[in-house]
Amino acid sequence: MVWGVADGPVGTNADIVDSHQPNNVVDHIDIARNACQRGKRPGIRTAEHAALLIASPEHNGGYTASLKNAIDWISRPRENGEPGVRLFASKVAALMSASPGPMGGLRSMLGMRGVLEKLGAVVIPQGFSLGSAHLAFEKDGTLADAKADAEVRTVGAGLVEVARRLRRS
């Protein structure tokens, strides 16, 4: 899952969080410099983000337990006593999902939208759900369908644009 756009101008940095990894270790990517750094936990980085792009598979019609667990832990009260839900409040978010079924995880996106909105995030209407996900990727991990790839990029660009506009206001 891409957890957000951080530091510098919106859209120049991103943190990649694999919610299946122990302790949800974050890879910080500086897009402008094409550099990657390992280390911080998502709760620490979430406060720095202007936006969240959450991409998750669908498990039995819902979002994954590990994604739910990560959000629950991040939204817990901070060590300094501040409510953890503030880390999501007024953030802009986009959702993507994948499933081997024909709906592509659409149901999980609906559930996650409700969770994020309850935490105060603004979820953009654009999203992407990838059906037949088990057949959708090349050996190198890229999407085989150019149209699907373009749709994913459109969602990401839309998220960055809304985050930029909200940051300016």
Residue 17 confidence class, pLDDT cut points 50, 70, 90: low
Average pLDDT (93-97) is 94
> What's residue 36's pLDDT?
40
Amino acid symbol at 73:
W
* Total residues found in the chain within this entry: 169
- How far is residue 121's CA from residue 163's CA, in Å, rounded to a whole number? 12
Average pLDDT (157-168) is 87
Residue 169 confidence class, pLDDT cut points 50, 70, 90: confident
The per-residue pLDDT for range 99-149, each reduced to its tens digit, is: 999 988 999 999 999 999 999 999 999 999 999 999 999 999 889 999 999
Q: Give the gyration radius of the chain's Cα atoms.
A: 15
Given a cut of 50, whether residue 53 has pLDDT beyond it is yes
Contact 83, 37 (CB under 8 A): no
169 vs 17, which has greater pLDDT? 169
Q: What is the mean pLDDT of the chain?
A: 77
Does residue 6 sit in helix, strand or coil? strand
> What's residue 16's pLDDT?
56
- How far is residue 100's CA from residue 133's CA, in Å, rounded to a whole number? 5
Running DSSP on this structure, what letter comes out for residue 142?
-
Most confidently modeled range among 2-6, 52-56, 131-135: 131-135
Decide which of 2.60.40.1180, 3.40.1710.10, 3.40.50.360, 3.20.20.10 is the CATH code for 2-168: 3.40.50.360
> What's residue 25's pLDDT?
44
Only one residue has tokens 């667990």, namely: 69
> What's residue 33's pLDDT?
42
Largest interatomic CA distance in the chain: 47
What DSSP string runs through 83-139?
Answer: -GGGGTTT-EEEEEEE-SSTTTTHHHHHHHHHHHHHTT-EEEEEEEEETTGGGSB-T
> What's residue 123's pLDDT?
96
Residue 160 confidence class, pLDDT cut points 50, 70, 90: confident
What DSSP string runs through 10-63?
Answer: TTSEEEEE-TTSGGG-EEEEETTTTEEEE---HHHHHTTEEEEEEEEE-BTTB-
